[in-house]
Structures are given as structure tokens and as C-alpha cells.
Amino acid sequence: MKAKKRILVVDDSPFMRKLIVKSLESRASMEVIGVARDGNEAIEKIKELHPDAVTLDIQMPKMDGLTALKIIMRECPLPVVIVSSLSQEQADITLECLETGAVDFILKPSDDILMSRQDQMKELALKVFSACNIDVSHFKKNESPSSVSPKLYTKPVAPLYKKESVSIGSSFEKIVVIGISTGGPKNLLDVVPELPGYLNAYMFVIQHMPEFFTKSFADRLNHLSKIQVKETEDGEMIRKGVVYIARGGFHTKVLEMSNKKYYVKHVDNSRENNLYVPSVDVTIESIAPIFRSRAIGVLMTGMGRDGVDGLKSIKGFLGQTIAESKETAVIYGMPGVAVEEGCADFILPSYRIAEKIVELVDGTT
């Protein structure tokens, strides 16, 4: 019989501590070995109890979650899952935590979240259990220059859709879709900031994140990148040379107008009934029949298999596909399944993906 995963719960709210403990211990594979009410107490108990993973609240007295996380990753690194609220302020801090070394985040149970309380608790337990198996040495070993000392860039303005680009034939226009989940905010720092200031293709990133978080995520990447990065807006015409981050809370589809221009359509999940919102598969399956062999699909770190069927669609239209290698993937789920099922043309570590995208867009591969 396998030993249970040992979890430390850190939250200043007695109600939330009780709720999280109940959720985690509903799985026979986990046990809560202690609780802490602030960052100072958390660090002491980590050193004393040596848990397999920690759930860490952000807003706490004495020492907040971000400050505690920086000390934890420096002095006693282990998998940390951030517990956040659905707000713009907490979204900004949560993203900083993920870049600092936290492996994932969960939302505090709330009536504002479009998910039943029971489903929220199941998701919490699943994410914490998955975190226990993550080797946090990835976060230090694979630090890239962009994540250590990020540079701020002045963006070249992406040209508006020009008539001459239609005259040479929309058949030459390419699109890149990156699908990513757990570990994404950290690993994408190896990709998006490494792209040139203008890429002659449409580009989308589908990151499993809720509303508010994707806007903060897009803004942070935009500040760190040479290329323009923005969150998708329903109905907007898309342009080449812009990286679009799919808005949380909706699925993002790309639809074609009669004049060979393309626009974003946000779709409510009630019409798709998909486990992940936004879903990588939903986006890719909207673009594959339009761009056919000119579509490039990329699957990076994350749990499950979202995006694998999408890559198969791209392959069916003779497009090209990339899967992140086990070397850098925080969780080798989505890319691992793509490799196992034979729908990855290239298997690369995160720090080589930007270069390969540029090669495929420019037609040098």
C-alpha cells in the first residue's frame, strides 16, 4: 500500500482551513499533517513536518503568501499550490507567485465561480495531489534569462490587415496555437518573450485560467515581450504579429469572414460542455479546417489531454505540431499524451520552442 501524500494547509481563515482539509482528506491518497495561520508559521511547520506539498493562501497577517513563498523556494523548496480569490488584485499576485515557483493555483470556493461547490472541492484535491508529484527543481534548473532578469520592450505596431496580403493569397497565411496548463505561466516565459517583435502569422495561447487571470497574464507577458500580447475580445478582427491570450471563462474560436479576414468568437461552455475553459481543443478545431496545412499546433506542460485531439486535427490537414519535452514540462500530461499518440512532429524543451515556431512560420524547416 502506497504511503499517503502529506499536506500542510496554510490559511488565516478557520472556515477555509476546515473546508480545504475536508476536501483533501476526502481522497484516501492524502492526509493533512498540519495547518498554519500565516507565512511565518508555515515556514516553521514546513521545516518541522517536511510535507509533500503545501496549499498557501495569499492574504494573511504577519507574513503574506508571496513573501512566504519566496522564502520557501529559497530555503526549503517543495510543491506549493496557491489558494486565490477571483479578483483582479489577487490575479496579479497569483501570477507573480507562479513565476516565483508555485506549481499551480486553485480558487477559493465561491458562488461567483461557475462550478458547484462539490466540483470546486474535487478540483482542489486533484490539483494538490498532482502537485505532490512535481519536481520543483525544474523551476530553478530551467530558469531562463527572461525569467531571471526580464527586459521591457517597446512594441512594434502590428500592421493592420493590408489588401496586398490578400492579393498574394490567404493560402500563405499561417496560424500558431499554443495550448498549456499547469506550469504555463513559468514555462511560457521561455517562449513568448523570445519571439521577435513581429511574427508573420496569427498566434493564440490557450492557457487554462479563469476570468481576470488571463487579462493579468496577457499584460505581464506584454511587458516582458518584444511582440505585442493581449487578451482576446469577442468579435475583434485578428492581426498577424500579435499574440492573443484566450480570455478565461469562455472558449475562444476563430471564424472566417467572406473576405478572408478572421475574427474571435467567445463561446459559453454550456454550448461545448468541456472540462477545461478555455479549451485548447475547441480553439484548434475551429482553426484547423480554415488554415489546414498552414496551422501550427503546440502543446506544453499540463494535466490531462486537452489539445491532443486538436493536434490530430492539424495533422489530418497536414499541418505541423510541437510537443514540449519531458525535460522541461512541469507536468508531462498534455504533451506526453500527444507524443504517445503519435501526433507530435517535434518534441522540444520549452527554451527551444520559440525558435522552432519562427522556423515553421518562415518556412525554413
Provide the residue-wise pLDDT of the chain in tens; the chain has 365 residues.
678 999 999 999 999 999 999 999 988 899 999 999 999 999 999 999 999 999 999 999 999 999 999 999 999 999 999 998 867 778 889 999 998 999 999 888 765 555 567 777 888 898 999 999 888 865 554 444 344 444 555 555 554 443 333 333 345 799 999 999 998 888 999 999 999 999 999 999 999 998 889 999 999 999 999 999 999 999 999 999 999 999 999 999 999 997 789 999 999 876 666 678 999 999 999 999 999 999 999 999 999 999 999 999 999 999 999 999 999 999 999 999 999 999 999 999 999 999 999 999 998 66
Catalytic residue, candidates 306, 313, 345, 350 = 306
Residue 147 lies in a domain: no
Evaluate whether 187 touches 324 at the Cβ level (below 8 Å): yes
Length of the chain in residues, anyone?
365
Residue 152 lies in a domain: no
Residue 59 lies in a domain: yes
Catalytic residue, candidates 84, 130, 181, 325 = 181
Cβ-Cβ contacts under 8 Å for 26 (sequence gap 6 or more): 121, 125
In the chain, how many domains are there? 2
Q: What is the C-alpha separation between 63 and 183, in angstroms, rounded?
A: 25
268 is catalytic: no
Between CA 112 and CA 121, with CA 181 as vertex, the angle to 5 degrees is 40
In three-state secondary structure terms, 31 is strand
Do 167 and 137 fall within a single domain?
no
Please name which of 250, 253, 268, 276 lies closest in space to residue 334, comparing C-alpha atoms.
276
Do 86 and 180 fall within a single domain?
no
Order of all β-strands in the sheet with 5-10: 30-36, 5-10, 53-57, 80-84, 104-107
Residue 345 lies in a domain: yes
Do 174 and 123 fall within a single domain?
no
Do 85 and 211 fall within a single domain?
no
Residue 309 lies in a domain: yes
Residue 158 lies in a domain: no
104 is catalytic: no
Do 345 and 271 fall within a single domain?
yes
313 is catalytic: no
Cβ-Cβ contacts under 8 Å for 277 (sequence gap 6 or more): 208, 248, 249, 250, 251, 269
Catalytic residue, candidates 38, 104, 130, 208 = 208
Do 74 and 205 fall within a single domain?
no
Domain span including residue 198: 163-362
| Helix or strand (DSSP H, E) at 346 | strand 346-348
Do 235 and 204 fall within a single domain?
yes
Q: Which residue do the cell numbers 473576405 mark?
A: 259
Do 180 and 310 fall within a single domain?
yes
Do 238 and 324 fall within a single domain?
yes
Q: What CATH code is carried by the domain that includes residue 199?
A: 3.40.50.180
Query: Around Cβ 223, how many Cβ atoms within 10 Å?
Result: 14
